[in-house]
A = this chain, B = another copy of it.
């Protein structure tokens, strides 16, 4: 189990962790955007940013740098960045000499509520996302809002979609509070950190019960079977969208499927749908795209034997994994989604 630390005093926290762990060497792994947050004089491994660099080539660069610095099993790596840095840096650290200790310090909201927590590491391979990886938890994850001030609003919204997902899996009142949020209104660091604490707890509780995703952890895929298809289609059509935007749409589409399959309340579909319509401008897909979307869902890493499987909800907090849905169901849900979003 990984140790989560919610704090806005990151520097002192890291100093304490280094002091307690007594590594013979501390290395920071950061990308072009986050290297400026690394303390002066620290040993730094810089990797190129962007999902296209989440590659084996970048992994070998990190291994080579670790070796050049003389890292041993008693050394420490600190991954400072978004999901790309924590995923790839975590993989490099988890496999170098069969694993050295690493700390994740996510710098984006999406990273804080998703990638940095839960022990998934990996990189893209042969054009497939996170195709190679391991389950290897960071020894500590330091969750802070101090890096968020300079994030674009789209980046914040992208992470917020995962926060909404966690509330859908656990707590109707929390969901209601989240959907009352106004992105143009200021929110204090402390309030946001408190919201993060509740959100991350949902993920951690599920992961602790099923770290290797053999069953219950699939609950965290809510919104992602259809969301990933949106994300991949947008990429294919050369108009990429942020992960969380695709997930937001996926959450609405899969809540519609939940209504069709498990009588998930239609008022909750509407509540969610309105928030997503008002805050997440997606890309205008049409019924001509349905066949491509269905094909992408069938090829999802989570699908089996060409069937489309989702996590669905009976009510907020009552999730059901491994639900098989038919192409006709999905088509109906996509129709309703487009209608709802006014596409």
Task: Please give the residue numbers on chain A whose beta carbons come within 8 Å of chain B beta carbons, in ascending order.
Answer: 24, 56, 60, 63-64, 67, 72-74, 94-99, 120, 122, 125-126, 128, 130-136, 212-213, 301, 304-305
Contact A135 B99 (CB under 8 A): yes
**A24-B304, A301-B73 are known contacts. Are A63 and B133 too (CB-CB below 8 A)?**
no
Contacts of A64 in B (CB 8 A): 126
Contacts of A67 in B (CB 8 A): 126, 128, 131
The complex places the Cα of A128 from the Cα of B63 at a distance, in Å, of: 12
The complex places the Cα of A126 from the Cα of B98 at a distance, in Å, of: 15
Partner of A133, one of B24, B60, B98, B135: B98
Partner of A98, one of B97, B99, B122: B122
Partner of A304, one of B63, B72, B304, B305: B72
Other A-B pairs, 15, CB within 8 Å; known A95-B132, A134-B136 = A24-B305, A56-B60, A64-B126, A67-B126, A67-B128, A94-B134, A95-B95, A96-B131, A96-B132, A97-B132, A98-B122, A98-B133, A98-B135, A98-B213, A99-B135
Contact A125 B63 (CB under 8 A): yes
* 4 pairs of A and B residues whose beta carbons are closest in the complex: A98-B133, A95-B132, A134-B134, A95-B134
Contact B98 A134 (CB under 8 A): yes
Contacts of A134 in B (CB 8 A): 94-95, 98-99, 134, 136
Number of copies: 2
- State the majority secondary structure of interface residues on A: mixed
- Shortest distance from the beta carbon of A215 to any chain B beta carbon, whole Å: 13
Closest to A214 in B: B73
Closest to A67 in B: B126
Contact A304 B74 (CB under 8 A): yes
Contact A97 B304 (CB under 8 A): no
The complex places the Cα of A97 from the Cα of B304 at a distance, in Å, of: 14
Contact A133 B304 (CB under 8 A): no
Can you list 29 A-B contacts with CB-CB less than 8 angstroms, sorted by A residue number? A24-B304, A56-B60, A63-B125, A63-B126, A63-B131, A63-B132, A64-B126, A67-B126, A67-B128, A67-B131, A72-B301, A72-B304, A73-B301, A74-B304, A94-B134, A95-B133, A95-B134, A96-B132, A97-B133, A98-B122, A98-B130, A98-B132, A98-B133, A98-B135, A98-B213, A99-B134, A99-B135, A134-B134, A134-B136
Contact A301 B97 (CB under 8 A): yes
Contacts of A213 in B (CB 8 A): 98
The complex places the Cα of A94 from the Cα of B135 at a distance, in Å, of: 9
The complex places the Cα of A128 from the Cα of B132 at a distance, in Å, of: 22
Contacts of A95 in B (CB 8 A): 95, 132-134
- Shortest distance from the beta carbon of A40 to any chain B beta carbon, whole Å: 26
Contacts of A136 in B (CB 8 A): 134
The complex places the Cα of A72 from the Cα of B303 at a distance, in Å, of: 9
Contacts of A131 in B (CB 8 A): 63, 67, 96-97
- Shortest distance from the beta carbon of A97 to any chain B beta carbon, whole Å: 6
Contacts of A98 in B (CB 8 A): 120, 122, 130, 132-135, 213
- Shortest distance from the beta carbon of A55 to any chain B beta carbon, whole Å: 12
